[in-house]
Amino acid sequence: MKDLFDLTGKIALVTGASRGIGESIARLLASRGAHVIVSSRKIDACQAVADSIKADGHKASAFACHVGDMEQIDAVFEHIKNEFGQIDVLVNNAAANPYYGHILDTDLAAFDKTVEVNIRGYFFMSTAAGKMMKEQGGGVILNTASVNGLVAGDKQGIYSITKAAVISMTKAFAKECGPLNIRVNALLPGLTDTKFASALTTNDKVLKMALHSIPLGRVAEPDEMAGTVLYLVSDASSYTTGATIVVDGGMLA
């Protein structure tokens, strides 16, 4: 029987992959046979993850890309085209959340940075990958959104707004790219123990309130997000596109 989760021969680009959820995704995809391009803003951190993956006997390389910078987006896809000639999987996971506070006090710099990375970055990473996938006959795009895109997080206004946009973006790309054999889906993580979420997980009062609303009674580990991504980028989900899968310990139930 065919292994529906086998990614042998696939080229996968994972952004925000130097730590947290992105790193867990990169490691799992590599373990299933993909050559994973580990990407984030800092090349040293990317290279460390790529080297660790290779030390485990899998395929990986590193390429720095700040998805808020259009020239760097162009550069990473030019590199992929020249080095590999294909892109089978794009995981848009890099994100920005520079402001935690009342929505009325959001300043322009925080607004611009969050929108630049979480909306503009995801959009143009997806169009660049999608054009390559169209030429080669198909591919898969996975967006890391958030449960905040469904229910806005307290003191996380602009971040929540951008994640709602990512959910809408996922559906728009899925609708128009389905005829091109490009599937587009989204992972919606709940509270996860990462540096990115440290403003929540290190605040005892906030954490206690959050755990009260999570039926499983705990914060997720990054590895617990990667399995859903593997499903969505593999042949196991070959008839799934436009889906938004919530992985939140039951919080929204």
Q: Active-site residue numbers? A: 159
The residues near 148 (Cβ < 8 Å, ≥ 6 apart) are: 156, 159, 160, 163, 164
| Number of Cβ atoms within 10 Å of the Cβ of 13 | 29
How open is the CA angle 56-57-58, to the nearest 5 degrees?
100
Exposed e or buried b per residue across 185-210, where buried means at least 16 C-beta atoms within 10 angstroms of its C-beta: bbbbbbbbbbebbeebbeeeebeeeb
Task: Judge contact between 178 and 157, C-beta under 8 A.
Answer: no
Q: Length of the chain, please?
A: 253
| H or E segment and range at residue 180 | none
| SS3 (DSSP) at 47 | helix
The beta-strand segments (E) located in the chain are: 11-15, 35-39, 59-62, 89-92, 139-144, 182-189, 244-247
Residue 58 near residue 28, CB atoms below 8 Å:
no
Q: Compute the distance between CA of residue 42 and CA of residue 142 in angstroms, rounded to an integer.
A: 22
Q: How far apart are CA 230 and CA 237, in angstroms?
A: 9
